[in-house]
Amino acid sequence: MDLVVTARRQAASERRQATAAVPGALPAAAPPPLRSGELPLAILVDYDGTVAQTDVSDALMAEVVTDEWEARAAEYDAGLAGSRRLMEWEVGLITTSPAELRALAAAQPHDAGFALLVRRAHAHGIPVEVVSDGFGFFIPAALEAMGVGDVPVVSADTTFPAGDHPRIAFPNGHPRCFVCGTCKRARVQAHQAAGRAVAFVGDGESDRYAAGYADIVFAKHALVRLCVENGWPFRRWTEFTEIDSWLTGVIAAWRSDPDSAAIPRPEPKPFFCGPEVWGEGLWDPPAPAGRSGG
Ligand SMILES: [Mg+2]
């Protein structure tokens, strides 16, 4: 058993070194500290199924869907398998050209209301950030097409070496927990540490590790169930225009009273994931009682 653990840790160390060696794969910058007089709010947004109205990463895998892929994806959706290992396996299957992949990603429907929200937030000094636990490479172009190319993207770094399969690196992954490709928990906590309450907007499994730490949660689809199961307060949402309306009210309330309860004080939550509670170096989340991992 010890040999197995040692081998896994060695493999994890090698993967970290490989990630660190990928040119251009830099972690996202720390959020700027809140300055006096600034509205103490940051808005973090998932991408697949949230800004994009489909799961773009899954759409790109459609060409290689097999029974094995379905089984692995189902395990992930059930919270039994980590995304980092899944994505590493997935990119090795891709044979479609980067140009075709980008065209397919660009053709996915997007929620145009996101641009309204971004413009309103930026007009009031509120940071907006896309935090995605997907392949990531198609997000900047999509945001550019929506007119909000200045929104920072925190995600994996997928590259396309000539004549080879794509490669994926995880500059925004946790250094000691390998369950997720991008550590959404870390970004929520980074914005809270900078002095802002975090409103998080999402739709699915990868968002559990942000929703459980955020100060305000907007949930739809699978994230609703996750919030209910975990007892996390949330607001249902369908389109970004609803969140834009909410933000309009928050800004008005804060202007009339900077101590308004419309913006809660950022509050660090107890850890429920990561090395603090799971131990070091996990690749899959522990199976909840009564369920078994693959
Ligand atoms: Mg999603």
Report mean pLDDT in 10-residue bins for the chain, 294 residues.
45 45 74 96 98 93 86 92 96 91 94 98 98 96 97 97 92 98 98 98 96 98 97 98 98 94 92 97 84 43
Report the alpha-carbon distance of residue 50 to residue 243 in Å, rounded.
12
Separation of CA 131 and ligand 1 centre (Å): 10
Separation of CA 52 and ligand 1 centre (Å): 8
Separation of CA 244 and ligand 1 centre (Å): 19
Separation of CA 2 and ligand 1 centre (Å): 37
**Is residue 232 helix, strand or coil?**
coil
Separation of CA 154 and ligand 1 centre (Å): 14
pLDDT (0 to 100) of residue 24: 56
pLDDT (0 to 100) of residue 64: 77
Separation of CA 10 and ligand 1 centre (Å): 31
Separation of CA 125 and ligand 1 centre (Å): 26
Separation of CA 37 and ligand 1 centre (Å): 33
Domain ranges of the chain: 42-278
User: Are 285 and 291 a contacting pair, CB within 8 Å?
Assistant: no
CATH superfamily of 42-278: HAD superfamily/HAD-like (3.40.50.1000)
pLDDT (0 to 100) of residue 11: 47
Separation of CA 256 and ligand 1 centre (Å): 35
Nearest in space to 235 (alpha carbons), one of 213, 251, 211? 211
Strands 157-159 and 197-202 come out as unpaired
| Crossing angle for the helix pair 113-123 and 240-256, to the nearest 10 degrees | 20
Separation of CA 138 and ligand 1 centre (Å): 14
- Cβ contacts of residue 100 below 8 Å, gap of 6+? none
Separation of CA 35 and ligand 1 centre (Å): 31
Nearest in space to 182 (alpha carbons), one of 201, 142, 210, 204? 210
pLDDT (0 to 100) of residue 133: 97
Cα distance from N-terminal residue to C-terminal residue, the chain: 18
Report the alpha-carbon distance of residue 220 to residue 7 in Å, rounded.
40
Count CA atoms within 13 Å of residue 281 on its CB side. 13
Report the alpha-carbon distance of residue 170 to residue 85 in Å, rounded.
11
132, two tokens: 């995605």
